């Protein structure tokens, strides 16, 4: 992967990767340091909230599908 200048803010994809890594608890120290020094908290909060919403909706959909399949 291309390494960017460490003084620039993280890109959308880097922030998304950080959100996913945080959800699984496997964030690297290097990325965590980048996020805390150059990232904006509001961006991570919005992206994390969006991820949480999608995750909950997927879980609800899977439960609804399982209930539908077992009802027949």
Does the pLDDT of residue 64 top 80, yes or no?
Answer: yes
Rounded CA gap, 34 and 11, in Å? 11
> pLDDT of 13-55, one tens digit each?
999 999 999 999 998 999 999 999 999 999 999 999 999 999 9
pTM score > 0.75 for this model? yes
Does the pLDDT of residue 6 top 90, yes or no?
Answer: no
CB 18 within 8 A of CB 33: no
Q: Give the HSE-up count for residue 36: Cα atoms under 13 Å, Cβ half-sphere.
A: 7
């Amino acid at each position: 992967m291309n390494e960017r200048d460490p003084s620039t803010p993280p890109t959308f994809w880097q922030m998304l990767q950080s959100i996913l890594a945080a959800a699984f608890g496997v964030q690297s120290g290097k990325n965590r340091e980048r996020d805390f020094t150059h990232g904006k908290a509001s961006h991570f909060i919005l992206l994390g909230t969006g991820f949480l919403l999608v995750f909950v909706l997927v879980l609800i959909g899977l439960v609804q599908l399982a209930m539908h399949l077992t009802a027949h």
